[in-house]
Structure formats: C-alpha cells, structure tokens
Amino acid sequence: MIHRFEPTIYHPTLGSHDPALRIVDGDTVITTTVDAGGRDRFGNQVTQGGNAQTGPFYVEGAEPGDTVAVYFDRLWPNRTTGYTGTLVAPNVLHPYYVRATARALSEPPGLAEWQLDLDNGTATLVKPETKLGRFVLPLAPMLGCFGVAPPGGQAISTATSSTHGGNMDYKGFVTGTTVYFPVFVPGALLHVGDGHAVQGDGEIVGTGIETSFDVQFTVRLLKGKKSGWPRGENDRYIFTVGNARPLDEALQHATTEMVGWLQDDYGLDPVGAQILLGQCVEYEVGNVFDPAYTMVCKVAKKLLRSIA
C-alpha cells in the first residue's frame, strides 16, 4: 500500500512520540521533510530549526529485537533554494589554526545560498562572492537525520546520533539505498528529516546544501532479526554505521557490527571475516560535526558473492 502523508507536526527529537501514521510491512510512504531550519517547500517557517523530523511512522508488529528495513525509493529536493555554512567548523581544524585565523576574519561570514536546478540536477552557488564564482555541483540528494525511537524511554535530539540512527549526515543515504535499524520500541517509530541536496564527507561546514525534500520510502519488517547499529546496503556494498566520539570509537562500533554481520548472514567464520576485512574493508566518514561523529564500514558485495 502507498501512503501519501502530509506532515503537520514535526519533532526536535527521535523518541516515542505519538505515531503520525501506522503502516505495515511492505508499505510505501510518500511524504515531505522540512529543511534543517524548519522551512518547507514554499520557504515557510512551519516548525523550529534543528533537523525537525517528519513522523514517526509506526510499523505494525515491530518489536524490540526485530530489525526494520527502510528502502529509499526517492529522495529529492522539492524547492529550488538551499543554504550551507561558509566556515569549516572549528572542531575540524587544528586548534592553533582556529585561533590564528579567527583573528584574521574580522567579520564572520553568514550562510551561503545555492540555487537548485531540479530538472538538470545541479546546485549553483549564488552568494557570497568568492573566488569560486558561480560554482556548480551535481545534485546528490541524501537524508542527514533519520532513524527510529531510541530505547529506554529516551528522546534524543536531532542534533546527534546513536544506535537508533539520528543525525548521521552520511552522504551515502541516497535513493536506492536500504537502511536497517534495530527496533527498540513497539512499532519502531521511524522518523525522517534533514535533506541535503549535496554534502561533502564529514559535513565539515556544519551543513550540506540544506533544503526541503520529497521523500518516498518502503518499509520491511525483519521479525526476529537482531542488529546493534544501523546497517545498510546498495547495489555495490553492504555497510554498517557507528555513531560516537571520538571518530575512533565510531569506527570501532561500525567495524564490530560488520564483524558480526559477516558471520551471521554471510557464512563467514570469525577468522575468515577478519582476514577479509583486513584486506578489503573500506571506510567512509559520515559527519565529524555533530555531537556524535559517524563512521561507515563497507564491504563490497562482489567479495561476498565469491564466498557464499
């Protein structure tokens, strides 16, 4: 079944909020998200800033210990303007450089504005004036912040992330990707938000090209399937996601989850899984801006096909 859901309430946390819509295994939802600042497709401020979430969507039958799969059928901006930060976040630069260069920038710049061409799939820098000129990038639309309700009665800010997902800001969360979340509460309570038309690794200026999105996703419920951290797959890779500080610990979580997954689902023994990872693992940096950083641990599917 396909649901068209127009949000009217948005949430500043991922938590056990009242369900916005109840869906079942196999259902598809077509909905929208506001930009990180709380503005919708018309540029209207409809909620507060800070990655306000659409949802939550209650998946019938989902219970703690299950895994819920979210396939992104379509993620695409639904307006023609976006904005980004203009300075690399000070936690991403060397502290002495921050001190030295802060003195030089007498006037801290504000946000940059980008024009989005949704037909031709480009983003063009409109202001400020820099040596980049009218810099053009191909659109690569992704969701920065989404996930399920966390365990233990928590409501966790959309600024950060953990085992439940949240503000991971990984540029691999694009159309055609499936993301798996552990279920911590009945119904899983899926939230979506924070679309980026483009984003570099690390989200190091604190933003992607922030804009409102059309979001279409399809849910599957994997009863009795256990997982510990967000997982995902696309045509070429399976991947796991760790969220923590420092980045080392995010990498530990992602790698540990992958070592387990390779044994559980891909027929590998402990030593085989680790030899494989040793020579074949790939990492991608999600964000190094948010309170929890995000590291993605990837294994190419073609490697796994040779085993099974």
- Beta-bridge mates of residue 218: 28, 71
Handedness of CA 131, 136, 82, 89 (dihedral sign): negative
The enclosing H or E element of 260 equals helix 247-265
CB 238 within 8 A of CB 172: no
25 or 249, CB closer to a second copy? 249
> With binding defined as CB under 8 A, does residue 12 bind a second copy?
yes
CB of 24 to a second copy, least distance (A): 28
Give CA–CA dist 77/218, Å, rounded: 18
| Structure tokens that stand for 43 in this block | 């540029």
Q: Considering only residues 84-123, where is the footprint of a second copy by CB under 8 A?
A: 84-106, 108-109, 112, 123
CB of 306 to a second copy, least distance (A): 7
Q: Tell me which residues in 48-87 interact with a second copy (CB under 8 A).
A: 50, 84-87
Q: How far is the CB of 190 from a second copy (least distance, A)?
A: 18
CB of 192 to a second copy, least distance (A): 18
With CB under 8 A as the contact rule, the residue among 223, 246, 264, 265 that binds a second copy is 246
Q: What is the closest distance, in whole angstroms, from the C-beta atom of residue 278 to a second copy in the complex?
A: 3
Instruction: Tell whether residue 24 is a contact of a second copy (CB under 8 A).
Output: no
What would the two tokens of residue 288 be? 């190094």
Answer for which of 137, 178, 225, 301 binds a second copy (CB under 8 A) is: 137
Is the bond leading into 128 cis (omega within 30 degrees of zero)? Answer: yes
Name the residue nearer to a second copy (CB basis): 50 or 182. 50
Distance CA(27)–CA(101), nearest Å, equals 52
- Note whether 58 and 187 are within 8 A (CB): yes
Stretch that binds a second copy, among 55-63, 72-80, 177-185, 244-252 (CB under 8 A): 244-252
Least Å from the CB of residue 270 to a second copy: 7
User: What is the DSSP annotation of 12-49?
Assistant: SEESSPPPSEEE-TT-EEEEEE--TTSB-TTS-B-S-S
Q: What is the per-residue burial (b if ≥16 Cβ within 10 Å, else e) of 243-260?
A: bbeebeebbebbbebbbb
Q: Which is nearer to a second copy, 29 or 258 (CB)?
A: 258
Q: Which is nearer to a second copy, 46 or 136 (CB)?
A: 136
Considering the rule CB under 8 A, would residue 285 count as an interface residue with a second copy? yes
Interface positions, 162-221, toward a second copy (CB under 8 A): 198-205, 207-209
Q: Out of 6, 235, 279, 305, which residue is the one contacting a second copy (CB under 8 A)?
A: 279
Single residue of 276, 287, 290, 294 touching a second copy by CB under 8 A: 276
Number of residues assigned to the chain: 308
The answer to whether 126 contacts a second copy (rule: CB under 8 A) is no
Considering beta carbons, is residue 12 or 187 the nearer one to a second copy? 12
Q: Specify the residue, 38 or 216, whose C-beta has the smaller distance to a second copy.
A: 38
Give the residue, chosen from 145, 244, 287, 294, that forms a contact with a second copy under the rule CB under 8 A: 244
User: For residues 19 and 54, what is the distance between their CA atoms, to the nearest angstrom?
Assistant: 10
Report the candidate in 182, 261, 189, 208 with the shortest Cα–Cα distance to residue 75: 208
In the three-class reduction of DSSP (H, G, I as helix; E, B as strand; rest coil), residue 252 is classed as: helix
Closer to a second copy by CB, 187 or 206: give it: 206
| CA–CA dist 253, 161 (Å, integer) | 13
